């Protein structure tokens, strides 16, 4: 696949450590990623950005020097700087590709991003390569270019899929959750501000800063998004849908719908049988109902390794802003996860290309997800047929596994999050549904109480693993060959204790095979898990 975005690694070095004098000044010569081991403050002369431990910041705006100071205390921890240049393809002819400097696709200047475990692994690889290579070798190394490309994708895109919700302020998150539950009722900015505990003016400003939308816009969008799903999945009249989504009458609903969707409700309803589809997620659910998407994002494709054969060649957006690659496809519909509503510019750009339907993600079990996608695309019988096939496979798998896992033994899934942090996934993600619902295995008491019953993922320190340990532990780690992580884990005391003293069995899984567990992916993951449990 030809790359429309290229990155050149200019330099990677330690910019500060415990012996560095305060402050550190850095000239803004080119885009820079700062990765501190402890909290720092970064000032560009106009505002201060605070970057915590296990976070990074991307800087690319010119002007005065950037000044770094420790966030607490009088000394720095280690601060690593990755300086690079970014290029976009602007022209091609028979012999050559022509690129020019471009930073418009990068995260915004001063944007602070949590370092996920995937990004942490890439940073570690970059540093290891930098320590063993000369500056000239770094600049010319294809491996370094690939690592840089993957790191920028990770910090600009994968964090979105890891969290699914970029709103950080707790009060605004509560307001957004309240809108999601009550959009069909009369909602006012004043009542929402009172609920959040702010005056109306401050609430309005903070809401826009956190979500990218004005309060009224956001409420209207929530209503229209639900209306889109009802138009595709039901035969209800426009009047009924207007009432169910909080609009006063069908006429007002039609006008509001036209402004957002850029077409009438009736025209949108005709997209129910769409086949020319771009999917920002849900590859496995689409394949389960017999629909192969034409396009998607590189990040989701890379995180859906088990589906590559079925997906074949897709037109891929290398980053969320690269919507222009979709323009020539004559798309009938774009399917995206509901958290895209928190990326207004991306969503609006997609809507200019084709109608967009947002589907909730991470809120329901995987069979309901396949059923919903089937209903939206007029293929509910195909969805039910796939579900029946999957359940039959699951029943056979449960019978096989019973011979290898005793009734008294427990099982769990553990995903490497960042260095010494692990995530224990809840029901809607990472094949948890396969483990407990389909295979019928028993969770340890702490996982049952802290994760499954509240249906909420939990992140724990590595030293807390014995409290959540199971007899059979499925361990999700980055990389194409997860078995290479086994020896790394066994170098750590807590893992040696789990295996040697508690008798835990470890089954290593690849993050890129288990990141997405929708539809056909879930089916293939079940096969992998059964083969590991049975030693096949």
What's the rounded mean pLDDT across residues 455-472?
94
Tokens of 525: 């993951």
Q: Give pLDDT, residue 118.
A: 63
The overall average pLDDT reported for the chain is 88
Question: Binning pLDDT at 50, 70 and 90, where does residue 159 land?
Answer: very low
Q: Which residues contact 406 (CB under 8 A, 6 or more apart)?
A: none
Residue 359 to residue 362: CA distance in whole angstroms = 10
Q: Is 69 exposed, middle or buried (0-12, 13-18, 19+ CB in 10 A)?
A: middle
pLDDT exceeds cutoff 90 at 270: yes
Q: Give pLDDT, residue 476.
A: 95
Q: How many CB atoms lie within 10 A of CB 324?
A: 11
Question: Binning pLDDT at 50, 70 and 90, where does residue 121 land?
Answer: confident
Q: Give pLDDT, residue 165.
A: 47
Q: Give pLDDT, residue 3.
A: 56
Q: Give pLDDT, residue 61.
A: 74
Residue 238 to residue 245: CA distance in whole angstroms = 10
Tell me the three state secondary structure of residue 244.
helix
| β-sheet bridge partners, residue 415 | 423, 476
Q: Give pLDDT, residue 52.
A: 87
Q: Hey, which of 336-345, 448-457, 482-491 has the most confident mean pLDDT?
A: 448-457
Q: Give pLDDT, residue 117.
A: 62
Residue 80 to residue 64: CA distance in whole angstroms = 20
What's the rounded mean pLDDT across residues 311-322?
86
What's the rounded mean pLDDT across residues 521-531?
97
Q: Give pLDDT, residue 168.
A: 59
Q: Checking DSSP bridges between strand 32-36 and strand 55-59, what pairing results, if any?
A: antiparallel
The lowest-confidence range among 87-96, 236-245, 262-271 is 87-96
Tens of pLDDT, residue by residue over 371-429, are: 999 999 999 999 999 999 999 999 999 999 999 999 999 999 999 876 678 999 999 88
User: In this predicted model, which residue has the larger pLDDT, 334 or 142?
Assistant: 334
Question: Quick check: 271 and 292 in contact, CB under 8 A?
Answer: no
Which residue blocks in 319-460 are alpha helix, DSSP H? 344-351, 366-376, 380-401, 432-433, 445-447
Question: Binning pLDDT at 50, 70 and 90, where does residue 71 land?
Answer: confident
Question: Quick check: 223 and 230 in contact, CB under 8 A?
Answer: no
Q: Give pLDDT, residue 493.
A: 94
Q: Give pLDDT, residue 528.
A: 97
Q: Give pLDDT, residue 419.
A: 60
410 DSSP assignment:
B
Q: Give pLDDT, residue 114.
A: 76
Question: Binning pLDDT at 50, 70 and 90, where does residue 369 land?
Answer: very high
Q: Is 2 exposed, middle or buried (0-12, 13-18, 19+ CB in 10 A)?
A: exposed
Angle at 394 between CA 391 and CA 396, to 5 degrees: 115
Q: Hey, which of 65-74, 118-127, 440-449 has the most confident mean pLDDT?
A: 440-449
What's the rounded mean pLDDT across residues 275-299?
95
Residue 99 to residue 5: CA distance in whole angstroms = 8
Residue 495 to residue 485: CA distance in whole angstroms = 12
What's the rounded mean pLDDT across residues 101-106?
78
Question: Quick check: 213 and 199 in contact, CB under 8 A?
Answer: no
What are the DSSP calls for 189-236, one per residue?
HHHHHHHHTS-HHHHHHHHHHHHSS-HHHHHHHHHHHHHHHHHHH---
- Can you give the pTM of this predicted structure? 0.75
Q: Which residues contact 484 (CB under 8 A, 6 or more apart)?
A: none
Tell me the three state secondary structure of residue 426.
coil
Residue 460 to residue 8: CA distance in whole angstroms = 36
Element (H, E) at 415: strand 411-418
Residue 413 to residue 391: CA distance in whole angstroms = 21
Q: Checking DSSP bridges between strand 48-51 and strand 40-43, what pairing results, if any?
A: antiparallel
The lowest-confidence range among 71-85, 229-243, 420-434 is 71-85
Q: Hey, which of 27-31, 77-81, 161-165 has the most confident mean pLDDT?
A: 77-81
Q: Give pLDDT, residue 96.
A: 81
Tell me the three state secondary structure of residue 15.
strand
Q: Give pLDDT, residue 11.
A: 85
Tens of pLDDT, residue by residue over 14-48, are: 899 888 888 889 887 889 999 998 899 998 777 78
Q: Give pLDDT, residue 158.
A: 45
User: In this predicted model, which residue has the larger pLDDT, 131 or 200?
Assistant: 200
Question: Binning pLDDT at 50, 70 and 90, where does residue 156 land?
Answer: low
What's the rounded mean pLDDT across residues 468-478?
95
Residue 23 to residue 40: CA distance in whole angstroms = 11
Question: Binning pLDDT at 50, 70 and 90, where does residue 2 land?
Answer: very low
């Amino acid at each position: 696949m030809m790359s429309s975005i290229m990155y050149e690694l200019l330099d990677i070095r330690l910019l500060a450590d415990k012996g560095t004098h305060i402050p550190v000044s850095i000239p803004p010569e080119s885009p820079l990623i700062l990765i501190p081991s402890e909290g720092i403050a970064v000032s560009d002369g106009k505002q201060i950005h605070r970057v915590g431990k296990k976070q990074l910041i991307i800087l690319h705006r010119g002007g005065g020097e950037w000044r770094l100071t420790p966030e607490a205390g009088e000394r720095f921890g280690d601060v690593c700087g990755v300086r690079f240049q970014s290029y976009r393809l602007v022209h091609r002819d028979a012999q050559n590709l022509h690129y020019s400097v471009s930073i418009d696709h990068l995260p915004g200047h001063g944007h602070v991003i949590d370092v996920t475990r995937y990004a942490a692994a890439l940073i570690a690889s970059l540093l290891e390569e930098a320590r063993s290579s000369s500056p000239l070798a770094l600049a010319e190394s294809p491996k370094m270019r690939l690592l840089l490309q993957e790191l920028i994708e990770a910090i600009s895109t994968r964090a979105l899929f890891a969290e699914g919700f970029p709103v950080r302020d707790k009060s605004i998150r509560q307001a957004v959750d309240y809108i999601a539950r009550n959009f069909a009722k009369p909602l006012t900015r004043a009542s929402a501000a009172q609920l959040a505990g702010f005056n109306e003016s401050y609430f309005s400003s903070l809401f826009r800063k956190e979500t990218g939308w004005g309060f009224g816009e956001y409420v209207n969008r929530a209503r229209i998004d639900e209306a889109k799903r009802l138009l595709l999945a039901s035969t209800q009249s426009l009047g009924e849908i207007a009432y169910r989504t909080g609009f006063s009458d069908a006429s007002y609903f039609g006008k509001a719908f036209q402004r957002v969707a850029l077409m009438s409700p009736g025209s949108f309803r005709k997209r129910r049988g769409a086949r020319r589809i771009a999917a920002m997620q849900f590859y496995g659910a689409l394949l389960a109902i017999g629909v192969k998407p034409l396009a998607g994002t590189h990040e989701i494709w890379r995180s859906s390794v088990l589906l590559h054969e079925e997906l074949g060649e897709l037109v891929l957006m290398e980053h969320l802003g690269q919507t222009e690659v979709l323009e020539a496809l004559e798309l009938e519909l774009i399917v995206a996860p509901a958290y895209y509503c928190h990326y207004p510019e991306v969503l609006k750009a997609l809507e200019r290309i084709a109608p967009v339907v947002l589907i909730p993600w991470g809120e329901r079990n995987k069979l309901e997800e396949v059923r919903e996608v089937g209903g939206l695309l007029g293929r509910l019988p195909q969805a039910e047929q796939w579900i029946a096939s999957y359940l039959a496979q699951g029943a056979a798998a449960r019978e096989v596994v019973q011979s290898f896992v005793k009734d008294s033994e427990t099982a769990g899934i553990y995903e490497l999050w960042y260095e010494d942090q692990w995530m224990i996934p809840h029901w809607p993600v990472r094949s948890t549904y396969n483990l407990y619902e389909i295979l019928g295995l028993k969770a340890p008491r702490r996982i049952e109480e802290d994760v499954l019953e509240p249906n909420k993922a939990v992140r724990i320190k590595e030293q807390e693993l014995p409290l959540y340990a199971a007899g059979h532990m499925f361990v999700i780690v980055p990389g194409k060959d997860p078995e290479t992580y086994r020896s790394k884990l066994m170098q750590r005391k807590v893992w040696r204790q789990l295996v040697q003293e508690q008798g835990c069995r470890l089954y290593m899984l690849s993050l890129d095979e288990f990141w997405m567990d929708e539809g056909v992916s879930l089916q293939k993951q079940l096969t992998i898990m059964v083969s590991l449990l049975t030693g096949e």
